[in-house]
Structure 1
C-alpha cells in the first residue's frame, strides 16, 4: 500500500492511546503507514496491556509510562525523547479527563476542583508538552491535539468538556502564533463522535452517535482511520504552510450541527 504522505525519518510521540479502537491508535496506524518513527506512552501498568497491541502493530521504537497528573512524569518522558532520539518532529496529545460527577452534571454545578482537574489534564497538559517539545524541535515540527464541536456549541450531555475543549482550541491558536518563528506548527483536530472507550464516559453517548449520523450529509459516522489520515497529512511537510487551525473530520456533520 502506498503511503498517504512521506513521514520517513520523522520522529513522533503519541500520548493518549487507550486501546486499538482509540483515536490515538488510528493516528498511530497512519503515522506508521507513512514511515514515521514512533514512540507512545501508557497511563500505568494496568493500561499497558491495552496499549501494547498497538505499539507492536505499528512497530514503535519505545514506550514509556506517563500520567500528566503525577509531578515530574512529563519531564521524565521528554528526557527520554532527548536521550533516545536527540530531537522530535511531531507530537499528538489525545488525552482528556473530568471527574464523573462533574462530567455528568450541569456546568453550572461543577466543582472548582473538578473544573481545575479537567482543565489541567485536558488542556494545560498540551501547553506543558509544547514547552518541553520546543527545544527538541530544532528543525521545526508539529503539535496536534484532539477536540470536539461541543467546544463551540452546546451539545447535550457533553457538559464540562465543552468549556474545556474551547480552552484547548484557544490554547492551540496561541501556540501556533508563539512557536511559528521556530517553525513549529499547531493544530486541533475535531472528529465527529466516535465510539471509543473514552467517549463512553459521556452520558447517553449512543444518542449522540445517532444524532451525528442523522446530521451528516451522507448519514455516516467517521472512523479513527479518518482522523489518522488527517493527522498524518498535518504533521507532514505537505502541510508546512498550515498552522493554527481547528479542522473538523466529521463527514460534514458540522454543516448542520
Structure 2
C-alpha cells in the first residue's frame, strides 16, 4: 500500500483489531504504511491468536490486552505507552458491543442493563481513552472512532446500536470542543458496511450490504483499505484544521440514503 500522507515519527494506539479483515486492521495498515509506529491491543486470550499476527506484521513494539470492561486494563495500556514512549500522537477506537438478546430486539424492548453495557463499551470507552490520551498528546493529536450511518437513520436490525452510535458521534463533537485548547482533534469515521466479524452479529447483514451496494452512486462498497487511507489523513498534520466531524467513508452512500 503506497502512503498518501506522512506519519513518520508519529506514534499511535489502535484499539479494536479483531483479525486481518477488521476495519481497525485496515486503518492500522494505512498508519504503518505512512510511517507511524503503533501500539496494538487485543481483547483477551481467545482473540490474541487472531490479532498478534496482524500486530507483528505491523511491527508493533507494544501488543497488549485491553478489555474495557475489566477495571484497570485500559489504564494499564496507557501506563505502558507512558513508560515506553512517553507520548502519543493519535489513537483509533474501533470497538462496539451489545448483548445478543438486546441487539436482536427492538430498541423499546432492550434491557436497561444491555443498553448501559452497549453504551459503556461502544461510546464511553472512547471518552475514557480521550481523557487518558490527553496528557500524552503534548504537541497535539488526533482521536478517531468508527461509527455507522445507523446513528443518523433507522437501519433495519441495527436496533440498539443506532442510539449508541448517535451518542458516540455527539461525544466526538463535545470532545473536540473540550480538547481544542490542547490542539487535539476528534473525528468519527462513518464507514460504509464492511463484512467483519463484528458486523456478523447484525441480523441480515448480507442483505444490508447488497441494498447499500445497489444504492451507492458507483455501485461499489467501501473497503477497509479505503477507510484506512481516510483515517491516516485524519491522523496526519494535513488533517489538523478539521475537528469534531463525522467523516463519511462510504463511497457516497450517505448522500442518497
CA distance in 2: counterparts of 1:75 and 1:220, whole angstroms? 40
TM superposition shift of 1:138: 0.5
**Do structure 1's residue 48 and structure 2's residue 65 form an aligned pair?**
no
Alignment of 1:46-125 (within 5 A): 46-125=46-125
CA distance in 1: counterparts of 2:256 and 2:3, whole angstroms? 33
Alignment of 1:56-205 (within 5 A): 56-205=56-205
CA distance in 2: counterparts of 1:61 and 1:211, whole angstroms? 41
The residue aligned with 1:225 is 225
Per-residue CA deviations over 1:45-94 (Å, capped at 9, x if unaligned) read: 11000001211221111100010001111111110010010010000000
The residue aligned with 1:29 is 29
Flag as ranges the 4+ runs of structure 1 deviating above 4 A: none
RMSD: 0.7
TM-score norm. by structure 1 comes to 0.99
The residue aligned with 1:4 is 4
- Tell me the SS of whatever aligns to 1:45: coil
CA distance in 2: counterparts of 1:16 and 1:3, whole angstroms? 22
Per-residue CA deviations over 1:171-217 (Å, capped at 9, x if unaligned) read: 00000011010000000000110000000000110111011101101
- Tell me the SS of whatever aligns to 1:14: strand
- Tell me the SS of whatever aligns to 2:59: coil
- Give the number of aligned pairs: 257
TM superposition shift of 1:3: 2.0
The residue aligned with 1:244 is 244
- Tell me the SS of whatever aligns to 2:47: helix
TM superposition shift of 1:96: 0.2
The residue aligned with 1:210 is 210
Unaligned runs of 5+ in 1: none
TM-score norm. by structure 2 comes to 0.99
CA distance in 2: counterparts of 1:255 and 1:209, whole angstroms? 16
TM superposition shift of 1:2: 4.4
